[in-house]
A and B are shown apart, each in its own frame.
Chain A
């Protein structure tokens, strides 16, 4: 176990370093890395590097939150946005745009995501328990309600509409050094917390009926997992908007590679998500020089066919 984890981490970190190197060397202009001047150095260090590192953090947050939600809800369709965090964040962001408070946009999105999640948990708790089905249902209903509020605001905010929609599509274009301290603590605490509870996650995937006799205080464990995953999602959304697909697909890909044990799956997904988003964002900003593509388009365009191939090759095996 320890040896496998060590090997995985080493391989993953090397891979991530390689991805970061690729991300820093490519962009909308070509730079000779051997002959740097003041301007090209500023492009590498103040534009590309913070953006690549932010992408790595966001990818790690979303993928590990996806793992946690899939385990918690015992649902392969779950992703970080399945239970209202995205609509809450969207509402917070739309409000910030509408009130002209764009400087506190990350804070508004973060508060929206966490607030929506707290409300849903409050709504879905019956007695001391949080039944998974009720929770999902409450999440979907509250999510739809919040989205309708966002749509309503969009119709009010005619001239800001394009900006809000662009934000909703997800982008790392706003990346800068000062954003890394905003997301890193949540990544460390959230991922660390989830990893600490990895064995509980293993038991939760078996279902509560199985987990409780095996000694898991299921209700408390669920709340902690939920808190960790929510913080990870909210932190990612606050700096990058809604980047879709990654949180759904990377957990599945990694489960195929390292198996369902969360002690391996969580770090694998975090590293895999980081690499995946760094590469997708590199494509997003270099494919059409001068005109950036939304990174969410790339994550879906690249991720979906890869996923098809994975499903297809599995089907042939069985």
Chain B
């Protein structure tokens, strides 16, 4: 105990206020991204070469493979400090406590709630400002603005986010927005967030198209009760790369096109 309190007192004396880091006035030069979708946005803006650290869940674009990993859901604070970033990008929806801690350590954190279409637009604006890539940012905003839902009632679609338990997306999520843009109508739009659902309920809703993410088409077809789904019988069951479907990035036009392909008869 005595040594603990002595050490504590000592440390409180000599540290506590972290050394103030020089804040560069210009565009960020050393960027750490703690959110895979925001890493993609940074690369789309052309700020990729200035990204010096990403999470273990980052796999796109391929250039990230060589970058230092600074944690997964939980950031590795000492690696982040050691890399001396002048900008750390995080999402308050996923990392509320971690953002507080990073700021306590004196790091400049840009907190971007980015898991929706409007969040993506806002993140794009903020990041292009912070990295001095406003022109490219404008161009990308234009690409996003051109995405408009096609006219008509929309094809009724079920998107499987997870298989065990069976999970889908409710209304108002990014995936739901993506479905609308691709000309579909989410059969679970009346639910919230990412609900888990029963096969019985799915049978009642009878979607016209089924889109899988983590499971394979053959496996899904053979599940009990699934042969009663009209979409399975008519062969309108497809699989999409999960990252492309759930991560709000500038690959959105590509995702809309692929999903739109599944939805058109």
Contact = CB atoms under 8 A, between A and B. Distances in A.
Interface of A: 13, 16-17, 20, 27-29, 38-43, 45-50, 53, 56-57, 102-103, 105, 155, 158-159, 162-163, 166, 171, 173-174, 176-177, 180, 184, 188, 285, 289-292
B3 interface: yes
A29 B3 CA distance: 27
Contacts of B77: 47
Given A53-B4, A158-B194, A159-B194, A43 B69 contact: no
Given A38-B19, A159-B193, A159-B194, A289 B79 contact: yes
Interface pairs A-B: 10 shortest CB-CB: A45-B15, A38-B19, A290-B69, A43-B78, A158-B194, A42-B18, A29-B82, A47-B78, A173-B74, A47-B77
B53 to A, nearest CB: 9
B105 A158 contact: no
B196 A158 contact: yes
B108 interface: no
A56 B100 CA distance: 24
A158 B167 contact: yes
A158 B193 contact: yes
Contact of A174 (B3, B101, B196): B101
A40 B8 CA distance: 19
A225 B56 CA distance: 45
Contact of B72 (A13, A158, A291): A291
A49 B11 contact: yes
A188 B82 CA distance: 35
A166 B73 contact: yes
B71 A43 contact: no
A290 B79 contact: yes
B82 A43 contact: yes
A290 B76 contact: yes
Interface residues of B, number: 42
B104 A291 contact: no
B82 A39 contact: yes
Nearest to A173: B74
Nearest to B71: A290
B15 A188 contact: no
A45 B194 contact: no
Interface in B44-93: 56, 68-74, 76-79, 81-82, 84
A162 B193 contact: no
B14 interface: yes
Contact of A171 (B16, B74, B76, B195): B74
A42 B21 CA distance: 11
B164 interface: no
A38 B18 CA distance: 8
B7 interface: yes
B3 A41 contact: no
B104 A176 contact: yes
Contact of B7 (A43, A53, A166, A173): A53
A16 B82 CA distance: 27
Contacts of B194: 158-159
Contacts of A105: 97
B150 interface: no
B3 A16 contact: yes
A177 B16 contact: yes
A102 B96 contact: yes
